[in-house]
Amino acid sequence: MRADLPRGTVTFLFTDIEGSTRLLHSLGPDAYADALAEHRRVLREAFAAHGGVEVDTQGDAFFVAFPTAEGAAAERSLPTAVSRQGRYPCAWACTRERLR
């Protein structure tokens, strides 16, 4: 068992970018790779700030464990935070991050 994972009652967060294939075709491979790298950076920063531990990632999706439900719920503001950056306006105009 990984020592960095929260113990006891935990909350899982799964993310996925809806329409990521459409976004890839819209932006092109290089710009999409840049946008995805920024997406990952911003989310990882936010996960860490709220006590989240990345369990796995596949493509544009994350699986994160939080020691509290409040920490996971705080991630619902991420699409707004990412869109405010303005570097990749299409990334959040064309798609939606689902945080459940």
Can you give the CATH number for the domain in which 91 is found?
3.30.70.1230
**pLDDT of 89:** 45
Identify which of 56, 55, 49, 54 has the alpha carbon closest to the alpha carbon of residue 71: 49
Tens-digit pLDDT profile for residues 21-78: 988 999 999 999 998 888 888 889 888 888 889 999 998 899 999 988 787 777 666 6
| pLDDT band for position 1 (cuts 50, 70, 90) | low
- Return the half-sphere exposure (C-beta side, CA atoms, 13 A cut-off) of residue 61: 11
**Quick check: is 88 in a domain?**
yes
Q: What domain range includes position 40?
A: 11-99
Q: Is residue 1 part of a domain?
A: no
**Helix or strand holding residue 32 (H, E):** helix 29-49
Q: Is residue 4 part of a domain?
A: no
Quickly state the pLDDT bin for 95 (edges 50, 70, 90).
very low
Q: Is residue 2 a part of any domain in this protein?
A: no
41 belongs to a structural domain: yes
Domain for residue 87, yes or no? yes
Burial class, 41, CB count within 10 angstroms (exposed 0-12 / middle 13-18 / buried 19+) = exposed
pLDDT at 100: 46
More confidently predicted of 4 and 30: 30
pTM for the whole thing? 0.71
Any domain includes 6 = no
Joined tokens for residue 64: 């994160």
Domain count, the chain: 1
